[in-house]
Amino acid sequence: MADSRSLSVLIVDDNPDAADSLATILALKGYPVRTAYNGPDALKMAAEAPPDVVLLDLLMPGMDGWEVANHLAATRPRPVMVAITGCDGDVNRSRSRWAHIPFHLVKPVAADVLVDLLRWATRTRAGRRQLDGLA
C-alpha cells in the first residue's frame, strides 16, 4: 500500500479500458488516481490539480502524448512523466526524451514496475520540487 505521502497520479490513454484497468490497480495500491481519455482533458485536469506523476499513452488522436508532455514540462511543479505505450524503437524513445519523458515503458507493463517507479517518485519528490524552485 502507498504511504500517507501518496503521489497523485494522472493516467492519460485514449483506450478507456486500459486507462481504467490501470487506475483500478493503482487505486488498490493506495494511490489517488484520475484518468483522462485525451490530451486536452489531461491538460485541463493537470491545471485544476497538478499531478505528481503522469502515465501517458503516446499514440492518441488529436493531441498525442508527446505534445501533452511538452505542455506539462513547462508547469511547476513539474510532474514525473512516464510513457506507457506500444511505441518502441530508438526514434520513439528519442522523441520521448525530447518531450521531457524520462521513462519510456512498452506495453504490457507489470504492475510491480509501476509501483516501484511510484515509490521512487515518492522518495525523490522533495528533491524534484527543490529543483523546480518550489521548496
Rounded mean pLDDT, 3-12: 80
Long-range contacts of 59-63 (CB under 8 A, 24+ apart): 59/85, 59/86, 59/87, 60/12, 60/13, 60/14, 61/14, 62/38, 63/38, 63/39
Q: Are 125 and 52 in contact (CB under 8 A)?
A: yes
Report pLDDT for 5. Answer: 59
Q: What is this structure's pTM?
A: 0.91
Q: Tell me, which fold does domain 9-123 have in CATH?
A: Rossmann fold (3.40.50)
Report pLDDT for 130. Answer: 73
Report pLDDT for 4. Answer: 38
Residue 133's pLDDT band, with cuts at 50, 70 and 90, is: confident
Q: What is the DSSP string of 32-51?
A: -EEEESSHHHHHHHHHHS--
Residue 14 has pLDDT above 80, yes or no: yes
Grid cell in block for residue 119: 515509490
Report pLDDT for 37. Answer: 98
Q: Where are the domains of the chain?
A: 9-123
State the burial class of residue 74 (Cβ atoms within 10 Å of its Cβ: 0-12, 13-18, 19+).
exposed
Question: Which distant-in-sequence residues (6+ apart) come within 8 Å of 84 by Cβ?
Answer: 13, 22, 55, 56, 57, 105, 107, 109
Residue 62 has pLDDT above 60, yes or no: yes
Report pLDDT for 126. Answer: 76
Grid cell in block for residue 126: 522533495
| pLDDT, tens digit (0-9, with 9 covering 90-100), for 72-128 | 999 988 999 999 999 899 999 999 999 999 999 999 999 999 999 999 999 888 777
Would you give the distance in Å from CA 114 to the centre of its chain? 10
| pLDDT, tens digit (0-9, with 9 covering 90-100), for 17-27 | 999 999 999 99
